[in-house]
Amino acid sequence: GQNIDQPTEMTATEGAIVQINCTYQTSGFNGLFWYQQHAGEAPTFLSYNVLDGLEEKGRFSSFLSRSKGYSYLLLKELQMKDSASYLCAVRWGSTLGRLYFGRGTQLTVWP
């Protein structure tokens, strides 16, 4: 299985940059996802990393270090609408079907 660790809560102000970290067990790792979930809604896909390095997509970037079992999601130019829970998920094992989610990081953006 997997033990995924991410901070429970973070706060930031509009226009700022925030980095949400995620650590996981490296054994069996097969890819890492970041999802955004607004209160009362379904998760929506943000990014996917399977190789080391930074993936940039507009205001959002995601970084992966496979050897360290570490990823982060970087959100730039924060907006109020970015207030949400951010979920780190690891695809585990050779079948590719197993997905383990962290407990989520609740980000609150203040004006």
Beta-bridge mates of residue 58: none
Contact 63, 54 (CB under 8 A): yes
Please provide residue 80's backbone torsions phi and psi, each rounded to the nearest 5 degrees.
-55, -35
Q: Which of 75, 102, 107, 109 binds another protein (CB under 8 A)?
A: 102
Q: For residues 69-88, which are near another protein according to CB under 8 A?
A: 87
Per-residue DSSP letter, 5: B
Binding mask 29-48 for another protein (x = CB under 8 A): --x-x-------xxxxx--x
Binding site for another protein (CB under 8 A): 1, 31, 33, 41-45, 48, 87, 89, 91, 95-104
